[in-house]
Amino acid sequence: MFDLTAYNTFGLHVYSKDGLIVRCVEDLSKIRDDKFIILGKGSDVLLTDDYDGTVLIDEIKDLEISEEQDSFLVKAGGGIVLDDLIAKLVSQNIGGLENLSAIPGTVGAAPVQNIGAYGVEIGNFIESVEFVDLLSLRKGCFNREQCDFGYRSSYFKKNPQQKLFITSVNMRFSKGFNPCLTYKGLQDEDLLTYADIRNRVIALRRKKLPDPKVVGNAGSFFKNPIVEQAVLDKLKNEYADLPVYAAEDGKFKLAAGWLIDKSNCRGITHGNAGTWEHQALVLVNRGEARPHEIVALAKYIQAEVKTKFDIFLEPEVRVFGKDGELKWSQL
């Protein structure tokens, strides 16, 4: 049995039949099981059961930074802790990812969810993603278009059956000071360097989000829902203070945290699971939570929001059960 407590930031006590720490591409040839899943730090996953197979842990940590005339090229191993990479880039005055500071997780997991925060998504900087197809053990590489990035989505997330193990991510950052300061907490004249922005982002996150090393959680549990104009108009009529952001294709993004909060679900506790007092979108393990308690709370929240706003909240976290990845509807 392989203990997965340290490999899921909810801190749930779950196990897999076996585990393989992958430190270099060659380690992938040591897979003996035909049933496996891939995890980095498990920061965006909910493990609902012990897994009846091998869990592959990405620990490939090679890093190359090269300089071109107008930009820096960074090739980062999938197992590098994303925040360690950001700290290093910022210390060398290479900007782009500073708004993603303090997000838990690895470089290899970042393109899968196309992680984002404070107006920046990692996909904007990715030139290509290198991987090993575990079904054939062949190396492959997707350019940005093939990665098919969307809001908390990518080709890798949409096609889990393909078992692509991300070995490295190639990113390009332009030289000069080109910060993204659109988020309201970043609209401040004191933010003059990438290090200033990183520090501000870390402070903003500390205020709103629990540190998974202290309180188990997986960041935003649900995605912010995207709705059509007609749905927005109806809600705006009733709730003048509804937060709304422009989304793709003339649609609108609503704040799931606000919807949950207004459904009286912020700071609640059900068994050993709860929602965070300062950000209702974050489900937390209040102690020794069992997976089913997190699932039950998430379903309760979905039902409350559906009843009040007629909106379905789709989970952002990926869910893995006894036999591998599950659709939410299977729970």
Of 205, 304, 316, 318, the active-site residue reads 316
Tokens representing 199 are: 């520090």
Nearer to ligand EPU, 22 or 97 (CB): 97
Options 16, 128, 220, 263, the catalytic residue: 220
Select the residue whose beta carbon is closest to ligand EPU and give its number: 219
The residues binding ligand EPU (CB under 6 A) are: 117-118, 183, 208, 219-220, 223-224, 243, 255, 257-258, 261, 266, 279-281, 316
Nearest alpha-carbon partner for 220 in 166, 143, 172, 276: 276
Closer of 14 and 283 to ligand EPU (Cβ): 283
Spatial CA neighbour of 326 closest among 33, 46, 126? 46
- Tell me whether residue 22 or residue 319 sits nearer to ligand EPU (CB atom): 319
> What CA–CA distance (Å, rounded) separates 105 from 46?
14
Q: In this structure, are strands 120-121 and 126-133 parallel, antiparallel, or unpaired?
A: unpaired
Pinpoint the alpha helices (H) of 142-244: 144-147, 155-158, 194-208, 229-238
DSSP assignment letter at 221: S
- Least Å distance between CB 183 and ligand EPU? 6
Closest to ligand EPU by CB, 36 vs 320, is 320
d(CA 43, CA 212): 9
Give buried/exposed letters for 258-282 (b at 16+ CB in 10 A, else e). Answer: bbbbbbebbebebebbbbbeebbbb
CB of 255 to ligand EPU, least distance (A): 3
* Among candidate residues 221, 210, 219, 223, the one with its CA nearest the CA of residue 286: 210
CB of 279 to ligand EPU, least distance (A): 5
Q: Which helix (H) or strand (E) holds 18?
A: strand 15-22
User: What distance in Å separates the CA atoms of residue 95 and residue 113, rounded to the nearest whole number?
Assistant: 21
Q: Is 127 designated active site? A: no
CB of 220 to ligand EPU, least distance (A): 3
**Nearer Cβ to ligand EPU (168/217):** 217
Cβ 257 to ligand EPU shortest distance, Å:
3
Q: Is residue 145 annotated as part of the catalytic site, yes or no?
A: no
Active site residue 288: no
Catalytic residues: 152, 220, 316
